[in-house]
Amino acid sequence: MSLSFSYRHLYYFWVVGTEGGIARAADRLGMAVQTVSTQVRELERSLGHALLKPAGRGLVLTEAGTAAMQQAEQIFALGAQLPAFVRDAVSAPTVRLAVGICDGLPKLVVRSLMQPVIDAPHLRLLCHEGDLSDLLAELALHRLDLVLADRAAPPNPNVRVYSHSLGASPLAWYASPALAAAARRGFPQSLATVPVLLPTPHVAVRAQLDQWFEKQGIRPRIVGEFEDSALLKTFGASGMGVFPAVAMVHAELTTRYAVKRVGPCEGVKEQFFAIGTERKVQHPLVQRILQARIAASGDR
């Protein structure tokens, strides 16, 4: 592989950008200011663009410098992980699976979707929760093997990812035992009088729920909105309000949270997707997750 620049020069530039100046960078590196300055000029020469420019008594990044700094941050962040990866590779036989969990995806559903790989020998499972756009950026940098989400990845010409459907589940309404008894009387119109908890509009299924209320002619008495599905269920189980949940985890939901089913949310389904960087999945554990969902869909 032929390189038009030196990674050593890039590293010195990155330290300058991180420290906010050549003098501070030289102090961190234990080098002379002139030496660091020379290394940065060598990088500028090899890239063909100025990366720093004077600003008052200091230096700031140029547009080219900002672009180079963004790439350098990714490069050296990955480099910092290299010793741990090498150490893990030789210390014990492991099968690493790094999964990003979209923050709007119900956690009980995540557990169900991941069930096919939980007992895999030597599994080392790394789970990261966050906003879908942030997780897709991590996926593109190969820091994640898979992203589980409640929606397909949006089109992005700069990031090539593929969305694999994991099926869907209808929603139903649940509540604490006392509130469930009241909500069942005159359901679903009762949702205009009893307190209701909903996911925020950030969650994909919220739009379907709003449409369902409009179709039923119901103006719900909303007392709480939650991005995190576990918080939604926790507050719902405490008696704060009636809440929607996917029916595919009914048994675990009613056992863990001691709630009762109020009634169906007909026509509303939550979608599940596995998002990866390959059209044909290569990771054996990701393949197992996809195959298990295909088999489950075929059984229904």
Q: How do residues 251-268 score in pLDDT, each as one tens digit?
A: 999 999 999 999 999 999
Q: Edge-to-edge, what's the strand order for the sheet holding 123-130?
A: 123-130, 95-102, 146-149, 260-276, 162-175, 243-246
Q: How do residues 56-98 score in pLDDT, each as one tens digit?
A: 777 889 999 899 988 888 888 888 888 877 776 666 667 889 9
pLDDT at 289: 87
Half-sphere exposure for 153 (CA within 13 Å, toward CB): 25
Does the predicted model carry a pTM greater than 0.85? no
Q: DSSP E strands: which ranges in the chain? A: 52-55, 58-61, 95-102, 123-130, 146-149, 162-175, 195-199, 221-226, 243-246, 260-276
Query: 213 falls in which pLDDT band (50, 70, 90)?
Result: very high
Q: How far is CA 171 from CA 193, 209, 221, 244, 248, in A?
A: 20, 9, 19, 6, 8
pLDDT at 300: 47
Least confident of 83-97, 206-220, 233-247, 268-282: 83-97
Alpha helices in 141-186 (DSSP H): 177-184
Domains and CATH numbers, the chain: 7-88 (1.10.10.10), 93-300 (3.40.190.290)
Q: Are 126 and 173 in contact (CB under 8 A)?
A: no
Q: How do residues 157-178 score in pLDDT, each as one tens digit?
A: 777 888 999 989 999 999 999 9
The C-alpha atoms of residue 162 and residue 182 are separated, in whole angstroms, by 45
Which DSSP string do the residues of 289-300 spell out, in sequence order? HHHHHHHHHHH-
Backbone Cα Rg of the chain: 26
Q: For the chain, how many residues are written?
A: 300
